[in-house]
Amino acid sequence: MDVAWTVSWNRFYHSGTHLFYDYISSYEKGKELSHLPTQQEVSRQYPNPCGYGTGMEDCAILTGTMLGTLVDRYEQTGDEQMKNFASLLLEGLKRCSLIPGFSGFVARGVCTEDGKSFYYNSSRDQYTHCVHGVWKYYNSSLSNDSGRKIARSILTDIADRMHKNVIAENNFDFLQADGKPCPLGICRMWNVQPHEAARLPMFYAAAWNVTQKKEYYDLYRSYINEAIDQSEKIGNNYSAYVYLQMMYSFELLSELETDSLLQKRLQKLIKRVGQLALERSLDCLKEIQKIDKAELSMLGPDWRSVKEWHTQNGYKIPRWGKYRNIWHIIREAGESALVVFMTNDFMLANDEKEILQNVVSAMDYSHLSGCGVIFHVSAYWKARKYWDI
């Protein structure tokens, strides 16, 4: 896991933007992220307004996750270096979410060439990881006065954008950076699926927590009961990222909710999602164990030259072929493990421990090209609260 930590920072993190990126296309030092979109490509929203397939589509997710991991690591070790790392990642999330002229918009990432260009369509998933990581940082001993000020601005700007845009007239969409509705449905915040229902009250609760302003509290209270009703309808046929984003929402809400009945329902949801994630985690291990180690070390492509492209609602998306499956399963193994360790249920965690150990044993982190390594690191540092491993 020391190697996994080093690889995460040396290969997926960009020191100019202070963000983590989706995959590497070379093991040669300095060329790992050479495939990322240029400023010119991003400015014309090429190949699509989400940057899907380019390696720049999940920076807010990855950086928010790692910011939360820094808190976990600091709590376990007291390592003062984590404070410096946290300041860097907060700066990265600031670049994504405090963009002049785009109040409350959370960009998926920023271009490494100019440090500011971004794709105009985001998603509730990007917001969820950003809000959770920033909120967790704000309430931790890693934060300082200047950092908490930035965090407060990020969280309140997001809540204000939700209040302004997430209305029936917009189909409850927080809108793209250009003010247009999202054609994919990924920016809708209400009247959504059960695993997405808790996001909107989560955002309002975070803003209330860092400001204590009644307006945010009232917005939170106006959604929380219905959100829990909808969340309780969750099924079991989902990818691991679904369970992780639900757990992020439930962790924040359970920390702040004072109604005893709602608190009990949240705790039941946390355990339910943990059980579902444990099942997914075991499936991931079985899939990984079928894959040859040489395939696990496969590099990501230069998306511009892939053979297959897919069109979705007008979005032209490059397909990665066989690499996509490798990238996906390694990431899911880390996401599902992280969810289980977030339950605070020792029995579930004990079952997950052996699964995670087997997943880690199957990895050669020095030759791993997908951002799943970040979730493996996150799961490990969450597991450390149970055992000294």
pLDDT confidence of residue 138: 98
Q: What is the model's pTM?
A: 0.98
pLDDT of 307-348, one tens digit each? 999 999 999 999 999 999 999 999 999 999 999 999 999 999
pLDDT confidence of residue 377: 98
Give the pLDDT mean for 267-290. Answer: 97
Residue 16 — pLDDT band, cuts 50, 70, 90? Answer: very high
pLDDT of 191-250, one tens digit each? 999 999 999 999 999 999 999 999 999 999 999 999 999 999 998 878 999 999 999 999
Residue 184 — pLDDT band, cuts 50, 70, 90? Answer: very high
Does an H or E element contain 341, and which? helix 322-341
Residue 52 — pLDDT band, cuts 50, 70, 90? Answer: very high
Domain definitions of the chain by residue range:
2-119+232-383
Look at residue 388 and tell me whether its pLDDT is greater than 80: no
Integer Cα distance of 263 and 254 in angstroms:
6
Q: Which amino acid is at 278?
A: L
Residue 150 — pLDDT band, cuts 50, 70, 90? Answer: very high
pLDDT of 29-46, one tens digit each? 999 999 999 999 999 999
Integer Cα distance of 57 and 301 in angstroms:
15
Q: Do residues 11 and 109 make contact, with C-beta atoms less than 8 angstroms apart?
A: no
Mean pLDDT of the chain: 97
Look at residue 389 and tell me whether its pLDDT is greater than 80: no
Quick one: what percent of the chain has pLDDT higher than 70?
Answer: 100
Integer Cα distance of 354 and 373 in angstroms:
18
Integer Cα distance of 178 and 160 in angstroms:
17
pLDDT confidence of residue 236: 85
- Give SS3 for 317: strand
